[in-house]
Copies of this chain bind each other. A is one copy, B any other.
């Protein structure tokens, strides 16, 4: 039998972490669900996903070659782990819910991978040519494991923006096609030559591709040069083209994504709040005790305590009492539904307990510490000016780090800075930084070359503390706070980019084996980063033809037009909220 407290604790915990699993409430299913949410199987799952994804490093074309049987064996192990996790999930939720869950694309992915491995093994054994096509399915696991909520949300927001993006894209392509037609008619018959002597702007499809790439400004001066040299007026044609297609249409893409993002974000937030409330209401229903006629049911302090202890065993007694006092502000000994529902949010608030740590001297030699000159020093050290002086010292140190170290005076100045930092720490009674000082001063004594570099890094870490100086200025704090708020979302975007890069790298390595820098997974990733940042397709697209161009255009649409615009929308919204 499941106790009411266990069940209530699970609902509260699900609300706290925004979990959306409709688990079975039978005793066995609840026990399995608790195990399912345990950190160990989750970490294991992520570990095996990582192993599965990184198999690409060892598979042909490999960075570190391993025999096929070894990678296949590891992959089988990974598949086994994923299957166990899925079976576990199937036992947790009701049978009918399981088959409708879209997350279970995983099952298809696992089956397809198995089939592919068998075919590949058979073909390899009989020395035929074989392709491991199921490798593009691997990132699906990253998206569809039950923990990838944020990532799935990101994919949903892409899917929601797609129709709007598609309409603008059609107009954009229409504009590119019209301009290509004009270019063909204006420039095609003038007998112009490109720098390598081939005819210039004579083939319609070539022009369309060249002008598409011009939108990314990757081939910018080269593609226009023959026209420039022919007549000054053609520059106007290209300026008009770049203005309309690079500036107006790319801004239009951002605008459409941004509008969609705002609209969709609101809906997401609303749904999250609704789901959270729903779970808390269910927890309340389990715990409630009815009162006399006409007055709503309540939860007593004792029951509340027991649930909170189950949900978060690590919480301290004073912290729990603090939370109770917030809920039961009238000090009645029980709380109603409204007060109970806010518990999930209260648990997410971090309570910082400030302890005032006395200076070591105060306990070692109180007479000296409390003497007149010592007290004056204390007041000096706690003065704002002292902080400012040390911020200035860090600044000067930063400048010295940038200066030429061959100069002995500058090399010796590092000792002065070390002494100054040591002095400050002694005054403040801090021990934390002295660890740094030890690691940094030892290498200087050793005098080796690599230890010098360690010293450099330690100094750089100290320079990073300049961020604290910057943060103390009010105007900068808003900006820095906003940038910090962006932090967690960046992890999601990182996963998103990883998924898309992985798929494109897999396809790219099959399509352009050894060509176009698709030599192995590492160089493929670097190439894709290059494509994202500078759209440096110029060298890339000329080697192989049609397939490389389609590959480039698809990658550009997906990464530059969709994902980067979603990221920019996210930053825009974060700044809008903060101001």
Chain A residues packing against B (C-beta within 8 Å): 167-168, 170-171, 174, 178, 180-182, 184-186, 189, 204, 217, 220-221, 228, 232, 235, 239, 242, 246-248, 251-252, 254-256, 258-259, 398, 401-403, 449, 452-453, 456-457, 459-460, 463-464, 466-467, 470, 475-476, 479-480, 482-483, 486, 522, 526, 529-530, 533-534, 536, 564, 567-568, 571-572, 574-576, 579
A-B contact pairs, 25 of them (CB 8 A): A168-B479, A171-B470, A171-B479, A171-B480, A174-B470, A178-B460, A178-B464, A178-B466, A180-B402, A181-B401, A182-B460, A185-B459, A204-B403, A217-B534, A221-B530, A235-B529, A247-B568, A248-B483, A248-B571, A252-B483, A252-B571, A255-B571, A255-B576, A256-B575, A259-B576
Q: Which of B460, B466, B486 is within 8 Å of A248, CB to CB?
A: B486
- Chain B residues near A456 (CB-CB < 8 A): 185-186
A248–B235 Cα gap in the complex (Å)? 33
A478–B499 Cα gap in the complex (Å)? 34
- Chain B residues near A467 (CB-CB < 8 A): 174
A536–B402 Cα gap in the complex (Å)? 28
Say yes or no: B171 contacts A220, CB within 8 Å.
no
A403–B162 Cα gap in the complex (Å)? 32
Q: Given the known A-B contacts A181-B398, A460-B185, A463-B181, are A536 and B220 also in contact in the complex, defined by CB atoms under 8 Å?
A: yes
- Chain B residues near A568 (CB-CB < 8 A): 247, 251, 254
Q: Given the known A-B contacts A258-B572, A259-B579, A572-B255, are A220 and B530 also in contact in the complex, defined by CB atoms under 8 Å?
A: yes
Copies in the complex: 2
- Chain B residues near A464 (CB-CB < 8 A): 178
Say yes or no: B533 contacts A246, CB within 8 Å.
yes
Say yes or no: A533 contacts B220, CB within 8 Å.
yes
Nearest 5 CB-CB pairs, A to B? Answer: A255-B575, A251-B571, A185-B456, A220-B534, A204-B402
- Chain B residues near A242 (CB-CB < 8 A): 533
A403–B255 Cα gap in the complex (Å)? 35
Say yes or no: B185 contacts A457, CB within 8 Å.
yes
Q: Given the known A-B contacts A185-B453, A247-B564, are A466 and B572 also in contact in the complex, defined by CB atoms under 8 Å?
A: no
- The residue on B at minimum CB distance from A572 is B255
Known: A182-B460, A235-B529. 10 other contacts (CB 8 A): A174-B470, A185-B457, A186-B453, A220-B530, A247-B568, A251-B572, A252-B575, A255-B571, A256-B575, A259-B575
Shortest C-beta distance, A235 to chain B (Å), equals 6
Shortest C-beta distance, A11 to chain B (Å), equals 38
Say yes or no: B534 contacts A189, CB within 8 Å.
no
